[in-house]
Amino acid sequence: MTGRPGPTTRVRVRRLVGPIGDDRRDDLATEEPLEIRLTSLDGTRRTVAITMRTPGHDFELAAGFLHGEGLVAPDGIAAIGYCTDEDVPPEARYNTVTVRLRGPVPDLPALDRHFVTSSACGVCGSAGLDALHDRCRPLPRGSVTLTPEILYGLPDRLREAQGVFGKTGGLHAAGLFTAEGEPVAVREDVGRHNAVDKLIGWSALTGRLPLDRHVLMVSGRTSYEIMQKALAAGIPVVCAVSAPSSLAVDLAREFGMTLVGFLRGERCNVYSGHERIREGVE
């Protein structure tokens, strides 16, 4: 493939309904690798991550990943573009992003993570919760409150904005909302953590960080990595339609975040930070 890949790929399938089959076209969510490279003014170049993702909003994905991992702040990015290095073949050009830094390339070997991830599940971004205290502070308790009515409406509002999911049925989503339940931005990807990176990257590149007056709504479950990315962006409330992991709950409680799981219909579990939910108010 030498052209720019899109978020969907059309294939031929054989569909069976009862004993009868017929041939038809089907749209799939595209999954391709993205290599993120860093380069500095002195010519230093280094690959920092390779992740499987759905093409689209690739620059946001790179910026969000770098911010969420504490590698490069938004003001440390001079430019982002698709790679034109000679070692990148034409068919991989749109699967390689180069981030040009204003300063030196970070000392990546000192990190406790090998940044090779899949779209199915991200790898833990730090050695433990203690490492997060070096770059993140607990979030203030009174920055955002929301009613149960607004909370219960978030899954439907997220689903309404999932255009590619409507075609393929195979994508996760991350949505940024106001405390009044109004959608600010939504991003989709085959990987939950990629969708969050795209959303936070968009916020970083447009000067919206920190997101201390917003709510993050994600499809699927909530992992440690998603909570880490939300914390780095200053998001006080994270909601999901499925369960959180134990370490996600530990992180939320450690840093004063509100974590809501199993948000379906008019039910949910609040695992941390229930004081931000105005119970008894509709």
- Give me the catalytic one of 121, 136, 239, 268: 121
Indicate if 121 belongs to the active site.
yes
> H helices then E strands: how many in the chain?
7, 13
20-29 vs 8-17, strand pairing mode? antiparallel
Distance CA 244, CA 220 (A): 9
Q: Which one-letter DSSP state was computed for residue 124?
A: P
> From the annotation, which residues make up the binding site?
262-267
Tell me how far apart the terminal alpha carbons of the chain are, to the nearest angstrom.
52
Contact 250, 228 (CB under 8 A): no
Q: Which of 230, 229, 236, 237 is closest to 268 using CA atoms?
A: 237
Residue 181, both tokens: 């339940």
Residue 104, both tokens: 């030196």
Distance CA 57, CA 197 (A): 10
Catalytic residues: 121
